[in-house]
Amino acid sequence: MKLSKKSLLKLSISMALAGGMTFSNVYAQEEESKDTSVLEEVIVTAQKTEQNLQEVPMSITSMDGEALNEIRSGGADIRFISGRVPSLSVESDFGRVFPRFYIRGLGNTDFDLNASQPVSLIYDDIVMENPMLKGFPVFDMDRVEVLRGPQGTLFGRNTPAGIVKFDSVKPSDESSGYAKIGFGRFNQLSFEGAIGGAINDNWSARFSYLHDERDDWVENKPGLVDPDLNLVNGQPKGDGDLEEYTEDAYRVQVAYDGEAFSALFNIHGRDLDGTARVFRANIIEQGSNNFVPDYDRFVVSHDGGNAQEVKSFGWSAKLEWDLGDMDLTSITGYESVEAFSRGDVEGGYGASFFPWMGPGFIPFPAQTADGIPDHNQFTQEFRISQASDSMFWQAGVFYFDEHLEVDSFNYDDLSDVTSGYATQIQDTTAYALFGQADFYLSDETTLTAGIRWSRDEKDYTAAVPLAPFGGDPVAPSSVNTSDSNASGNLSISHVLNEDTNIYARLARGFRAPSIQGRVLFGGAITIADSETVTSIETGFKKEMWNGRARLNGSVFYYQMSDQQLTAGSGTANVNQLVNADKTVGFGFETDLTAKLAENTLLTFGLSYNNTEIQDESLTVAPCGAPCTVLDPAGSVEGSVSIDGNSLPRAPEWTSNLILKHIIPFTHGDLVLTTDWAYRSSYSFFLYESREFTGDALLEGGLRIAYETDKWAAGFYGRNITDQDKLIAAIDFNNLEGIVNDPRIWGVDFQYNFF
């Protein structure tokens, strides 16, 4: 379905008129807090100060920790939030690590370990820049906020699409704690716990811990196996069964609260040991995107190794001073990660020049690995703010420094012998000055204006000490990039009445140049120039039914210049960065939260995102696999034009629903919850083909629990309709795909200490 800009304008007017129904005063709600049919006030920190969600002039959705815990049942990684709020998608070709985020269709399909993304992930006030940091587990969480549209003022760096912002439960004077254990399909074992409270009059602490593990659920049957000799057609077989993992994560927080000074110290870490994403050779039927007749979700045929290990550690210190008329905030953060991920990339066994191969035709073997042997990131922000009757302003400085080393390996088929080795070293320095002010023009109208000046510098070196296929080593080659930019936002919000707010927002975002060096297989170092985006958005925020329902909506249009895109492997089997002259997008989002009855809560979201690449001269190499390309030939021999295509992995429609009903009993409650997430179809790559297209996907969850003040016991199911869909692909070797996880179910038990 395509919506024209004229249709969207009509829709925005209709939504605004609908928004005039009601918008209850939050403070009046607090006075009637004993009325359990009234929705609770939602507090967010999208503008680095606590605000009522309904007063923030931007499209934003917040999910509380309770909802997150229910959806995450069964040990799901951070991808579980995909589609759970409007215009947000999350996917990964690595598995439980390296999530790639998309907001309003804008994201980055680059799988390099130095890739930057236009969606920034903020975890407890610290930006997680490297993609391996972004997969830190979600546990003991207070809320997640999704900020849609450019955030080029207060956050600034790498935020042209928006921000996903996680905030964990913080220490407090009140003692609290819980322990939760769960058991599920595929021998799933999950444990999560936290405990905290006051140490003395000024100090408090909280400790949180997570353990998740699961056995393999994909059986590896690589051809004809001789169990006595451990051979496949006379050659060593690949690793055993796949998709198992064991993961531990922890967080220690200590807080100080004094008369004019407060501090929060955070130490956290992660240790993951498992297998990488499972690639499946020739599971797509040529001429369509259907599975081949003999496809089996639970069986693959690999002859190569598969392993994944990630260890990360970080700390932060947030210090706040009350200076009388002004407040001063300092946020210091350090993050480091070590990682290694190896997979059988062609997804099968053997090759065309061996006496055996399968499933289907395998042109050549591909077994590779990437690792991060050394990484560290340091960030520092100082921010000062002041509030008065006429305005609230804040200004600050930001510094970012990162050192990253990446190793890439190629392996001889059927062995662990390294036949190729490349190194990359990237040092990034960034700094910024920013300021934003809210001007209270009247009791009903607020004008917000902000600006940020940013400077990014990268030093990059790549080398190939051991070239594959008997090639000559490649000496170190270095490139340097730098750029400065001014971004910002201007918005106005107006209270129509005590029940309805409307707003309009103009925002500009910026992403500095990116560097990619797929040099192991003869590729060149490529650089994508800076991208900028200008977005205009208008919307309403309102409450209905005397505070029992909340409906927010927005419409938007953006134009991105020089968008950074990743041209896939294609026939050359080499990724490279390119810039699109212009990309445009438009759409709408709507959020509804309603208490249908005193004990029944509905959350519903719907979004439409139309994206289009506009560059008549931009061409890319299409698939190396035998796919059916739908794009016209490009000006360069063997290429195709992508002018007019939608952005990859960007569904036009997404929708989410959570329905929760509580049945009270004498000593507790029976809680029934179901949740659903839908996304429409999309193309996996910049070019369009029949085979490499993902069909629409609707996944649902169910939870039935009995809860008291002290304990809870529940049964859960994820992907309860057992949807089996193609969700990603690799296009350089064969008709290879990646599928979603099968249905899982389990039980869990929670005990509350206080």
Mean predicted confidence (pLDDT) in 86-111? 94
Three-state SS at 15: helix
Q: What is the pLDDT of residue 533?
A: 97
Instruction: Flag the least confident range among 346-350, 405-409, 639-643, 686-690.
Output: 346-350
Residue type at position 14: S
- Tens of pLDDT, residue by residue over 27-72, are 333 333 446 678 989 999 999 999 999 999 999 999 999 889 889 8
Q: What is the pLDDT of residue 35?
A: 62
Distance of CA 90 to the CA centre of its chain: 5
Q: What is the pLDDT of residue 31?
A: 39
Q: What is the pLDDT of residue 414?
A: 64
Q: What is the pLDDT of residue 568?
A: 75
- Tens of pLDDT, residue by residue over 600-630, are 999 999 999 999 999 999 999 899 899 999 9
Residue 629, strand partner residues: 689
Distance CA 426, CA 130 (A): 11
Dihedral angle of Cα 580, 533, 479, 398, to the nearest 10 degrees: -170
Residue 269, strand partner residues: 250, 313
- Tens of pLDDT, residue by residue over 281-312, are 999 999 999 999 999 999 999 888 899 999 99
The model's confidence at residue 17, banded by pLDDT at 50, 70 and 90, is very low
Q: Highest mean pLDDT range out of 3-7, 28-32, 311-315, 567-571?
A: 311-315
- Tens of pLDDT, residue by residue over 432-457, are 999 999 999 999 999 999 999 999 99
Mean predicted confidence (pLDDT) in 110-127? 94
Distance CA 410, CA 304 (A): 11
- Tens of pLDDT, residue by residue over 478-506, are 999 999 999 999 999 999 998 999 999 99
- pLDDT of 237 higher than 70: no
Strands 500-511 and 531-544: antiparallel
Residue type at position 196: G
The domain spans of the chain are 5-371+385-752
Residue 278, strand partner residues: none
Distance CA 255, CA 317 (A): 10
Non-local (6+) Cβ contacts of 296 within 8 A are none
Q: Which CATH architecture has domain 5-371+385-752?
A: Beta Barrel (2.40)
Distance CA 17, CA 540 (A): 9
Q: What is the pLDDT of residue 224?
A: 52
Task: Copy the structure tokens of residue 86.
Answer: 């409007």
Distance CA 344, CA 279 (A): 7
Q: What is the pLDDT of residue 638?
A: 86
Distance CA 30, CA 124 (A): 27
Percent pLDDT > 70 in the chain is: 92
Q: How many CA atoms lie within 13 A of 747 on its CB side?
A: 4
